[in-house]
Amino acid sequence: MVAFIDDDAVAAENWVERLVTTYEADPDRQAVGGRMVPAWVAGKPSFLPEEFYWLVGVTNRGFGPDGDPETAGEVRNTFGSNISFRRDVFLDLGGFEDDIGGRQGGKNLQGGETELCARLRSEYDTGVYYVPDALVAHKIFDYRTDPGWLVDRAFWQGYSKRGMETFVPESTGEESDFLKMLLLSFVPQRLVSLVRSPSLAGVLQILFLFVLTGCVSAGYLYGTTVWG
C-alpha cells in the first residue's frame, strides 16, 4: 500500500490501521481513502457554506456514496491528503498527472487525485472505497479563509475539471450529480432554514454558495478555450 497525506494535515492515530483493515476486508479493493475534517487555525469563516468545504481540502456536505459523508462505500475519489492505493496499481497507473493538479504559476489548480482516480475507474472498473472513520485533520490557515482566495480557488477548480475531461472524458459525472443536489436540495433547504431562523451568516452562506458556483462555472468555460 502507498498512502498520501499533506504536510499541513494531521492523521488520527488509527488512520493507517483503518486503511489497511479496509484492504484486508476485500482483496478486490484497489484504493481506499478517508474523511478530511477541518482544523481551523484562523477560526471558522461564517460565510463559507459546508457544501464548498472541498475548496479548503475538507470533506464537504454532499460527499459520499449516497451524498452522506458519514456513510462508507465506493466513490470516485477522496482528497489527495487522505488516499491510498495498492502499490502495484498506483505504479501501473503511472501516478499523478502534473498538468492537472498543484500550483502552476498563478494557477491554483486542484484535481490531480481526481484525474488519477478517474483513470483507476476507467482501467480497473472500480473507484476508491471511502472510510469515514479513517480521519485526517487539515489545518486551515488564514489565507484559506480569505474570500478572494476562495474565489480564485473555485475558478481554477473549474479549469481543472475541464482539463480532467480531456484526459478522461467520462470522469465528471459526480460533478453533475453534486450540482443537481446543490441546486435542487441544499439551496431549498437553506432557504427554508433561513426563513425559519434568519441570520446574517445564513444569508452570507447562500450568497457565497452562488458566487462560488459561478466561479467554478467560469473556470470551466475558460478551460474550454485552453483544453478545447
Burial of 195 (0-12, 13-18, 19+ CB in 10 A): exposed
What does the DSSP 8-state code read for residue 156? H
Please state, in angstroms and rounded to a whole number, the distance separating the CA atoms of residues 159 and 206.
23
Amino acid 185: pLDDT: 92
Q: Where are the alpha helices (DSSP H) in the chain?
A: 15-25, 87-93, 112-124, 147-167, 173-181, 187-196, 200-227
Average confidence (pLDDT) per 10 residues, the chain, 228 residues:
95 97 95 98 94 95 92 94 96 79 53 83 93 97 95 90 69 74 92 95 96 93 81
What local confidence, expressed as pLDDT, does residue 68 receive?
92
pTM beyond 0.85: the answer is yes
Q: Are 197 and 182 in contact (CB under 8 A)?
A: no
Name 39's Cβ contacts closer than 8 Å, sequence gap at least 6.
10, 137, 138, 139, 140
pLDDT score for 101: 52
Nearest CA to 159 among 217, 228, 72, 77? 217
Contact, 14 vs 132, CB < 8 A? no
- Region of 39 on the Ramachandran plot (φ > 0 left; ψ -120 to 50 alpha; else beta): beta
Per-residue HEC secondary structure of 67-118 comes to CCCCCCEEECCCCCCCEEECHHHHHHHCCCCCCCCEEECCEEECCHHHHHHH
What pLDDT score does 28 carry? 92
Nearest to 1 by CA among 85, 79, 80: 85
Q: Which three cell numbers stand for residue 51?
A: 457544501
